[in-house]
Amino acid sequence: MTDRGPLATVESLALVALGGFAGANARYVSGLALPVPWATLSVNVVGSALLGFVLYEEAYLGAFSRQFRVALGTGFLSSLTTYSTFAVETASLSPGLALVNVLGNYALGFAGVALGRWAALSVAGAAK
pLDDT tens, residue by residue, 39-93? 999 999 999 999 999 999 999 999 999 999 999 999 999 999 999 999 999 999 9
For residue 5, what pLDDT is reported?
87
DSSP string, the chain: -----HHHHHHHHHHHHHHHHHHHHHHHHHHHHS-TTHHHHHHHHHHHHHHHHHHHHHHHT--S-HHHHIIIIIIIIHHHS-HHHHHHHHHTS-HHHHHHHHHHHHHHHHHHHHHHHHHHHHHHHHH-
Question: Given a cut of 80, is residue 1 above it in pLDDT?
Answer: no
* Displacement of CA 13 from its chain's centroid (Å): 18
Sign of the CA dihedral 39, 112, 106, 104?
A: positive
Phi-psi region of 63 (alpha: psi -120 to 50; beta: other; left: phi over 0): alpha
pLDDT at 2: 56
* pLDDT 10s digits, 19-42: 999 999 999 999 999 999 999 999
